[in-house]
A and B are shown apart, each in its own frame.
Chain A
């Protein structure tokens, strides 16, 4: 019996259409626009001026606080402008515009393919490198990685969980890197495991990716046989269920522990990192390579097979450039999503630039995505059955519509992980999550001010 999380969950069609498409490297565009807010936390402060010559991998913005991250140039060229530009939601954010000239990398970056398996001994040096290379969590939240890898005093990590679940339908970027960069991911895991004090590391992969399970298991075995520091790493196949890749759900599935309300994973001894983050850690620590590239899936049911791609992109490439390169936007596409169809963001502005956490360009047709007309709640309880946090969305939305914050807090609206299971499963098309998300923000604000 495969492991999975214990409460709720749904089974949308997994639609991994682009799973068979090998990762291709996108050619450089003539301009990139690098946002200073590519991570959770305070936007970084630009440290270059208009007219400066920059090399790929050079720092162009510095963190503006503890929870913040370095931003590097992904190309070599001249800084054309620094100023507001619309992100994919249409909101203004400071972007650094760089005219691309050649492809020259900053000194000290190892661009070769050689696998470096020897792990540096000094943990401080490792953490510094992770921080200096601007590594953030690539599972969706883009939380600065070095912060997560430094447990607060008095807390100890019992297990490092690598998230290879990729439970979102359509996305295949993690799957492809698990197939193509398996050893690098395992090295990254070994590095993080060492930083966390040598706890075991578990790579959780959903059963619908048997190839990835096989390749990753083989990579772990090979590295354990050939190098030091790889003991205690294992691959754990998981049952297919959304949202397996949710941090709290993955901890429940792998460790049978549940994070308390408003608590952090480290409270139960867990640190969760995405497999793509592990790869970025490897690149940063072993190759001095800052996080300036990532893999993105271009997919959708309405996209012909030859236009399905998994691309390695440089951050700052406009989404429209990638869409154009992938063969244009299909006529039937009604909505374009960055990220998975369950938690990703609908793109309002295709001219927006890619960021560290960009993981897909997903085309959905009107038939797939347009919501039905809202009708009365029939109290079927399907939302409560689906909620992986065990909440009762039907109740929360009722309280939220009436601004009953006390009742909302009592019924744990602050625990909502916004996975979308409730809205997905509602037969009456009630905009449950739309309403609950706002209420959750309000309640969390109230809780914070109380402290």
Chain B
């Protein structure tokens, strides 16, 4: 009995040791020479493998950073943001310029109330399938199709569909501006915009390029391309092209003059402090 146990232990130990030695030599032989900095850079990356940087994953991005060092202008990890890039730069011993943090913005306000449904979609619930088939179940052939391809594309759980409006909502806390939703949206409704001072933003929440009357007929909240906002803007940040206004976020100074001018309420101002009505002194 005892001998059996001793033999078993002995044989297994020898076997294990022998295999370990074999493994060691095999690993040595097939070792791939890699720049050790790649590992170091990868270690400071978020590890989301989202592809938001344009590379296949975090490791590919790390390699890209090491290769393009010392000039990191083309490298930006949207998930890690400026802090993350500072860390990468520190590892590589170079300087990197800070980029404006961005956030995904849904440019459609065609809720069920604003944009009445004109037909019923009965196919596979995918925006791509729906967009390939026809203009959508409303009179607006530019707006959100509401099947949630962006929700599925987001790896950070930052987008969800609002069941009341049928439109996607971006959670600004979770959004890393990786751009996956921008690519997933067949209607190009989602745009990455600068987060702005104290998270305040002004943007046109519409992408309808139909003429004013047609756009207005399809959706109460459509941009009708009237150009009032462009005239009101003191900073020339607003352009109107193809019956659609666009606010350049690099020029916008958040004065909100356009918001008041817009006849359909298509221009949205978000995260501004609520202005309390001034109490007249008695």
Contact = CB atoms under 8 A, between A and B. Distances in A.
Q: Do A and B bind each other?
A: yes
Nearest to B211: A84
A362 to B, nearest CB: 16
Interface in B115-143: 118-119, 122-124, 126, 128-129, 132-137, 139, 141
A434 B122 contact: no
A84 B135 CA distance: 14
Output the residue of B122, B124, B136, B137 with the most chain A CB within 10 A. Answer: B124
Contacts of B135: 86, 89-91, 348
Given A90-B135, A434-B124, A435-B129, 19 more contacts: A86-B135, A86-B141, A89-B133, A90-B134, A90-B136, A90-B141, A91-B135, A91-B141, A92-B210, A346-B134, A348-B134, A348-B137, A369-B122, A371-B123, A431-B123, A431-B124, A431-B129, A434-B123, A438-B132
B126 A434 contact: yes
A89 B123 CA distance: 14
Contact of A348 (B118, B132, B210): B118
Nearest to B135: A90
Interface string A68-87: 00000000000000001010
A441 interface: yes
A431 B137 CA distance: 19
Q: Which secondary structure dominates where chain A touches chain B?
A: mixed
Given A86-B135, A438-B128, A438-B129, A370 B122 contact: yes
Contact of A435 (B122, B124, B141, B210): B124
A315 to B, nearest CB: 21
Interface of A: 84, 86, 89-92, 335, 346, 348, 369-371, 431, 434-435, 437-438, 441
Contact of B132 (A90, A371, A437): A437
Identify which of A86, A370, A371 gathers the most chain B CB atoms within 10 Å of its CB. Answer: A86
Contact of B129 (A84, A86, A437): A437
Nearest to A437: B132
A346 B134 CA distance: 9
A84 B213 CA distance: 13
Closest 6 CB pairs of A and B: A90-B135, A89-B134, A431-B124, A434-B124, A434-B129, A91-B135
A320 B119 CA distance: 16
A122 B58 CA distance: 67
Contacts of A91: 134-135, 141
Interface string B180-212: 000000000000000000000000000000100
A371 B122 contact: yes
A25 B28 CA distance: 85
Interface string B145-185: 00000000000000000000000000000000000000000
A9 to B, nearest CB: 24
A86 B211 CA distance: 13
A348 B119 contact: yes
21 contacts: A84-B210, A86-B135, A89-B134, A90-B134, A90-B141, A91-B141, A335-B122, A348-B119, A348-B134, A348-B135, A371-B122, A371-B123, A431-B124, A434-B129, A435-B126, A435-B129, A437-B129, A437-B132, A438-B126, A438-B128, A438-B132
Nearest to B119: A348
A259 to B, nearest CB: 25
Contacts of A346: 133-134
A335 B75 CA distance: 51
Contacts of A434: 123-124, 126, 129
